Structure formats: structure tokens, C-alpha cells
Amino acid sequence: MLNAIQNRRSIRKYQSRPVPQKLIEQVLQAGSLAPSSKNRQPWRFIVYTGPAKTRLMLAMEQGLQKEAQQPLLPESAPYLASAHNTLRIMQQAPALIFILNALGQSLQTNLTMDERVSEICNAQSIGAAVQNMTLAATELGLGSLWICDTYFAYPELCAALQTEGELYAALALGYAAENPPARPRLAMKQLTEWRNE
């Protein structure tokens, strides 16, 4: 597994060949095996390929156009161009996995402290699931890209997904058409503080 961690890359160019369902199922299985707070397993996955993926990307495109006119995320406007690039990547990838929080309550404003803590724990659990999926993809010879730019088209995508739960992220999946180098990482001495006494 350390090799998968070291070799994992964020892939932004994909070959056109489809990903066999068996491999997608293995990626999903890896996500489902992630640790979760109180074993709540809040994640749910929706896989899009073929014409269904094309239709969903139209919803995202409409959302991005609306965001340019009536921003849902006004302070994030400088990143809208990046979201358009992400849309192109999602259109190119043979498969997209949308990850939802089935227990999500973050859009409610009157959460109790217990509910807020549960939301934080569920977010961490879903992050672990997505990380497992990216590592499994690498192990299986696939490329992947963890996508959060879906928030620029959140209402449109949620309406198109037609499911319960809150959309947390998407994962592009396919055979890589690029081999990017590892990106620089901070040195461990910059990241770690040891306390012994």
C-alpha cells in the first residue's frame, strides 16, 4: 500500500477507453472499507458513465454559467475558471463517482452541538473513504482526481442527482493519459512537532 501512496497522482487527462465495471466496484469497495466515526458509514456512491454522465455534465455546465451571473460562492469567484477546467476533466473521464453524505445535515442552520460534532466526524469519514478510493484506483492501474469544484454547481447537480443525502465530492476515474511528476511536499520537520516531556 505504501507504493500506492507514493505513486498516486491527481490525473487530469484520461484515455477514452471505458473502465470495466469490475474495477469500479473494487474502487467502491475500498471506499466502503474506510474507518468511520461510530461506524456510521455515512458515504453513498453514485456512478455515472456513458450518456448518463454526459447529461449530468450538462447540469454542471449550467450551474457554472449561473455561478458566473449569480454567485452562490461570491468570494470564490477567482476559482471559477478552475471549475470550468474541472468540468472539462470530468467530461473526459470515462467514469465519475459522486460521493454523498447520507446523514448530512450541514445545510441546516440550527444544529445542536452533538449534531455539529457528528457532521465533522462524518466529513472526516467520507474523506477517508475517498482517499481509500484514490489509492485503490492507483493499485488497479487507474488514474483518479478527487473533485470538490462541484460546489460551484451544487444546486444544479443535486437536482440532477435526484437522491437523498448531501453531495460532498466527486471522483473522476479512468486510464491515465498523462504521467505527472510528484508535486513538492513540505519536509517532515516543517509538519511535525515532537513532544516527549
- Cα separation values, 154 from 34, 71, 160, Å: 25, 11, 10
Note the pLDDT tens digit of each residue in 18-68.
Answer: 999 999 999 999 999 999 999 999 999 999 999 999 999 999 999 999 999
**Can you tell me the mean pLDDT for 173-185?**
95
Question: Across 124-187, where does the E strand assignment appear?
Answer: 143-147, 166-174
169 three-class SS: strand
Q: Is 177 inside a domain boundary? A: yes
- Domain contains 180: yes
How many domains would you assign to the chain? 1
The sign of the dihedral angle between the CA atoms of 72, 74, 80, 82 is negative
| Residue 196 belongs to a domain | no
Of the two residues 115 and 191, the one the predictor is more confident about is 191
Q: What is the per-residue pLDDT across 132-169, written as a single tens digit (0 to 9) for each?
A: 999 999 999 999 999 999 999 999 999 999 988 899 99
Q: What is the mean pLDDT of the chain?
A: 93
Three-class secondary structure of residue 127 per DSSP: helix
CATH code, 24: 3.40.109.10
For residue 115, tell me if it sits in a domain.
yes
DSSP element (H, E) containing 101? strand 95-101
- Whether residue 197 lies inside any domain: the answer is no
| CA atoms of 15 and 143, how far apart (whole Å) | 10
Q: Is the dihedral of CA 102, 103, 104, 109 positive or negative?
A: positive
Q: Which residue segment(s) compose the domain that 168 sits in?
A: 2-191
| C-alpha grid cell, residue 150 | 462541484
With respect to residue 171, please indicate whether it lies within any of the assigned structural domains.
yes
Which residues, in sequence order, are CB contacts of 42 under 8 Å at separation 6+? Answer: 36, 101, 102, 103, 104, 122, 125, 126
